[in-house]
A and B are shown apart, each in its own frame.
Chain A
Amino acid sequence: MAVRFEHVSKRYRLGMGRTSLREAVSRSLKKVLIRDLLSPSEERVIWALRDVSFELPQGHALGLIGPNGAGKTTTLKLLANITRPTSGHIEVNGRVSALIELGAGFHPDLTGRENIYLNAAILGLSRKEVDRLFDRIVAFSGLERFIDTPVKRYSSGMYVRLGFSIAAHVEPDVLLVDEVLAVGDAQFRQRCAQRIEELRRMNTTIVFVSHNLYLVKSVCDTAIFLADGRVQDRGDVVDVINAYETWLHQAQIQDPLRKALDDDDPTWSPTLDITHIEIRGLNGAPADGLDHTDATEVRVHFRAREPIPSPNLVLRIIRTDGTTCCMIRIADYGYSLNDLEGEGLISLAIDPLQLAGGAYVLDARLLGELDGRPLAQRFSNWFEVTGLSLSHEEMSGVFVPRVAWARVEQTGQRSLDDKTCLEDKDS
């Protein structure tokens, strides 16, 4: 086993930054005198990890996924020996390199060259190894011209590139990677992913933390889904990611719902309900298999126990991260629902759907005609849309426009910028 994690728990004390001696003295005095009765908040603790166990054989790649504060980084820090567990036992065999922050330990006054030697030594490379790898590290970063410039003159992108180039050339037995690939441009990210793939072929054991589930899927064989310091699910990477996504959807649907109900509680109409929301492709595709090119129909079913005069229907399509991708108000289109009474449905056709790949939820609200106060609200079930590219939804944007490509020759043409300049001069 390259990595063994046995019943590990880690507790942090909140507000434990005992920064001055006076505070510490008064604290212990207080303890003696009033036995903490007046300061229960000082002893607040947080369990970053609770009884977590796993094993990882040499050459395997494990993904750690979960929401913020789930204990992913804590797990890496424990594996890297940066911090120790409160209880439990950890065993890591072989040379460990932890990429928790790129360029940790760079000194702004030192040049790129000097920082390469320092950072590589921190990651466990010997001087001889750095001498041997130096040219390759510089070439990978693409910073040849700036290598003797102090890194304080670097842009943040250059800084990160140098940091990763060093990290990428470390050849450890166990590599711990924490979300460091989220930075840099797409091309650089691509190279980073390639390098990780190379290390995998070299039988490196990898523990990989990322919010980019697509990347996790491509790097790891197995995954652990952590939430609130506990293992929620483990096993094959695809299954675990599915479990996490389901959990995410549920957590996020509950959150805005609760907020909406809390905010507007007294105004909900007792006589009007949105009973059901249907989403389907007009070509017959089910809600969990829509394509961005599909013509899509949304059906909002309602029940009114007494007549409701001309309410306004508002639909919002919300992405997993809470972003509202679009808001559609029936009044904006000049339609009116007239009076709602009894049971019925309102149909809306969107053609084509144009949403980028990912999971979405629809928030439907009926608002009062005059005052706009919310009368009824319902979330749809989550529906999946297949986008144009396979990349993760947050990176590919919100929508897929209908585009037309053409190649236009530019000979003798004046660009828009030139024209604006000329006009500026005239005025």
Chain B
Amino acid sequence: MAANLKTLYQYRELLWIWILREIRVRYKQSLLGAAWAILQPLSMMIAFTLVFSFLARVPTDGIPYPIFSYAAVLPWTFFSTSVSFGVPSLINNLNLVTKTYFPREILPIGAVGASFFDFLVASTIFLFMLLFYRVPLTWAAVWLPLILTLQILLTFGVTLLGSAIIVLYRDVRFIVPLGLQIWLYATPVIYPVSLVPQGFQPYYMLNPMAGIIDAYRRVILDGQPPTWSYLGPSAAAALALFVIGYLVFKRLEVSFADII
């Protein structure tokens, strides 16, 4: 694992260039360009607000629904675009895999990196929303880097695992959009964790994204440190998924060029 990370470090320039390429390619020849990075989570938030605030009235612990949902939609979009671009990254670049050599994880990790750029762009809207709804940032915001790191590790884990398996089984192509849809409902994006029945919560929290999304809301909207009983297991799961994903990826990498 350490040796692999060292090789990856040697290829950091290629990784960086690959991320830039992914960002460029994503919005080349599109009319609105990088504005899509904002429009996607924004329109999702508006749709959720219409359905779950005007029609269905989901309780939000007293927080205005638009900012309540955007605080979760933003990191969720980062996660879901990373996975949907990262998982097919190897099979979409077949020529590179069969004709050139570099550590293959650069492709899925690059897709995550490009999605992170989108995430940063879309975050600017969030800053305006904080001002508009007069939500003060507190010292609790120092937890943000930790939460973000955990989310990135989890994203790497899922993406590496998926991109390696899709080389063997193209079924993954169909599983990804479906899985992400279901995963969204299993995560407190459109509703608060408090809505989940107490007795069911231990199972609910097996989903590592649940603890992470809840932690974002806690530290930004509530100005409180994360609920450790929620974030702790998520952190362990994220770390485990990352290690497993990376090891599986490196193990299968040897045969990528032969079976892709």
> In the complex, what distance in Å separates the CA atom of A358 from the CA atom of B61?
87
| Complex Cα gap A80–B258 (Å) | 14
Chain A 112-156, CB within 8 Å of chain B: the 1/0 string?
A: 001001100111001100000000000000000000001000000
Q: Which of B13, B28, B257 contacts A126 (CB 8 A)?
A: B13
Q: Give per-residue flags for A13-30: 1 if the beta carbon is below 8 A from chain B beta carbons, else 0.
A: 000111111101000000
Q: Are A18 and B168 in contact (CB under 8 A)?
A: yes
Contact of A105 with B13 in the complex, beta carbons under 8 Å? no
**Nearest-Cβ distance from residue A131 to partner chain B, whole angstroms:** 12
A2 to B257, CA, bound (A): 24
In the complex with contacts A107-B21, A110-B21, A121-B14 CB distance below 8 A: yes
Chosen A-B contacts, 28 in total, with CB atoms closer than 8 Å, are A16-B259, A18-B168, A18-B169, A19-B169, A21-B171, A80-B100, A80-B101, A83-B254, A98-B99, A98-B100, A100-B100, A101-B95, A101-B99, A104-B95, A104-B96, A105-B93, A105-B95, A107-B21, A109-B28, A110-B24, A110-B25, A118-B21, A121-B14, A122-B96, A122-B100, A122-B102, A127-B13, A150-B28
- The yes or no answer to A370 lying at the interface (CB within 8 A) is no
Q: In the bound complex, do residue B95 and residue A114 qualify as a contact, i.e. CB atoms below 8 Å apart? A: no
List of A residues within 8 angstroms of B196 by Cβ? none
Q: How far is the CA of A150 from the CA of B96 in the complex (A)?
A: 19
Count of A interface residues, CB-CB < 8 Å: 33
Which parts of B155-191 form the interface with A (CB within 8 Å)?
Answer: 168-171
Q: How distant is A411 from chain B, measured CB to nearest CB, in Å?
A: 51
**B83-101 contact mask (Cβ, 8 Å, vs A): 1 or 0:** 0000000000101111111
What does the 1/0 interface line of A83-96 toward B look like (CB < 8 Å)? Answer: 11000000000001
Residues in A347-371 with C-beta less than 8 Å from chain B: none
Q: A19 contacts B13, CB within 8 Å?
A: no
A303 at the interface (CB under 8 A from B): no
CA distance A39 to B93 in the complex (A): 32
Residues of chain A lying within 8 A (CB to CB) of residue B25: 107, 109-110
Whether the pair A83, B96 counts as a contact (CB closer than 8 A) is no
Q: How far is the CA of A16 from the CA of B168 in the complex (A)?
A: 10
Whether the Cβ atoms of A82 and B101 lie closer than 8 Å is yes
A12 beta carbon closer than 8 Å to chain B: yes
A81 within 8 Å of B (CB atoms): yes
* CB of A61, distance to nearest CB on chain B (Å): 21
Q: Residue A77 at the B interface, CB < 8 A? A: yes
Tell me which residues across on chain A come within 8 A of B236, comparing CB atoms.
Answer: none
In the assembled complex, the Cα of A16 lies from the Cα of B257 at a distance in Å of 13
The contact of B258 among A24, A81, A83, A117, by CB within 8 Å, is: A83
Are A114 and B21 interface neighbours, CB within 8 A? yes
In the complex, whether B195 has a CB less than 8 A from a CB of chain A is no
Number of interface residues of B (CB under 8 A): 27
Partner of B169, one of A16, A24, A100: A24
Q: Which of B113-147 contact A (CB under 8 A)?
A: none
> Which residues from A are CB-within-8-Å of B102?
122
Residue of B nearest to A17 (CB): B259
Give min CB distance, B170 to chain A, whole Å: 5
Q: In the complex the two chains form, is B170's CB within 8 Å of A19's CB?
A: yes
- Chain A proximity mask over B24-65: 1 for CB below 8 Å, otherwise 0: 110011000000000000000000000000000000000000
B18 contacts the other chain (CB 8 A) = yes
Measured between C-beta atoms, what is the minimum distance from B106 to chain A in Å? 9
- Whether the Cβ atoms of A83 and B257 lie closer than 8 Å is yes
Known: A18-B259, A21-B169. A105 touches B17 (CB 8 A): no
Report which B residues bind A (CB closer than 8 A). 13-14, 17-18, 21, 24-25, 28-29, 93, 95-102, 168-171, 254-255, 257-259
> Measured between alpha carbons, how far is A121 from B106 in the docked complex, in Å?
12
Chain B nearest CB, measured from A155 CB (Å): 19
Knowing A110-B28, A121-B13, A126-B13, the reply to whether A12 touches B171 (Cβ < 8 A) is no
Known: A105-B93, A105-B99; 15 extra A-B contacts, CB below 8 A, are A16-B259, A20-B171, A82-B99, A82-B101, A82-B257, A83-B254, A83-B257, A98-B99, A100-B100, A104-B95, A110-B24, A114-B24, A122-B100, A127-B13, A150-B28
B100 and A105 contacting across the interface, CB-CB below 8 Å: yes
Closest to A176 in B: B101
In the complex, the chain A residue whose C-beta lies closest to that of B21 is A118
- Provide the bound-state CA to CA distance between A77 and B254, in Å: 12
Could you say which residues of chain B place their CB within 8 Å of the CB of A81? 101
Q: Which residues of A from 368 to 404 have beta carbons under 8 Å from B?
A: none
A23: min CB distance to chain B, Å: 9
Residues of A within 8 A of B255 (CB): 84
**Which A residues are CB-close (under 8 A) to B28?**
109-110, 150
- What residue in chain B is nearest A120 (Cβ atoms)? B17
The residue from A20, A22, A117 contacting B17, defined by CB atoms under 8 A apart:
A117
CA distance A24 to B259 in the complex (A): 14
A104 near B99 with CB under 8 A, answer yes
User: Nearest chain-A residue to B172 (Cβ)?
Assistant: A21
With a cutoff of 8 Å between Cβ atoms, the chain A residues found around residue B169 in the complex are 18-21, 24
CB distance from A147 to the nearest CB of B (A): 16
Smallest beta-carbon distance A301→chain B, Å: 53
Question: How far, in whole Å, are A132 and B180 apart by their CA atoms in the complex?
Answer: 45
Whole-angstrom distance between the alpha carbons of A67 and B130 in the complex? Answer: 69
Q: Which residue of chain A has its CB nearest to the CB of B14? A: A121
In the complex, A105 Cα to B93 Cα: how many Å? 8
